[in-house]
Structure 1
Amino acid sequence: MKTATQTSLSVGGFAGPAQHFALSEPLCGNSHVIVWTQDAFGQQAAEAVIVAARPDGSAITMTRLPGSYVHPDPSVDAALELAGYQVVRE
């Protein structure tokens, strides 16, 4: 199974707590991603978001990748699982 391994990089500047992952197999051509969850606000629903990242932990683009989803109780692990990855935390 494909894996998404959380790195120790600290990432900030996102709409919620964000984590950086190295992927065993690329997602839409990307070997690294950032995943975050954000609470609902105004007309914006709560969601989990996956975006392409560089190995240094910076985002390449804010375009949502497969696995991103809207849900009242989103989770980072569920987003990566929807994208087809097993989460690994070392």
Structure 2
Amino acid sequence: MRIERCVCKKRLFSQLKLKAAAERLSLEQLCEATGAGRECGKCLPYLCRMMRTGQVVFCEIVAEADELYDPTLRCEQIHAAKVI
């Protein structure tokens, strides 16, 4: 299984990561600007991990219990062009 996007908004995590890094957005700001994580919410744990680690492709299910939601998370430490 390959998980790489917000299905509701049809946005790749790699695109969302680039936007967050380029605009220095927090997780909350990214969700507000793109709508990702706002409909079904299933991608929120993936977005949290993306913001924390830079990972944009997942081969395992990431549950809410695995990644606690922190709206202040930023990916400033991750180079915007780096795609894992």
Shorter-chain TM range is under 0.3
The structure with the largest strand share of the pair is 1
TM-score normalised by length of structure 2? 0.26
The structure with the largest helix share of the pair is 2
Q: Which has the higher contact order (CA 8 A, sep 6+)?
A: 2
Larger radius of gyration: 1
TM-score normalised by length of structure 1? 0.25
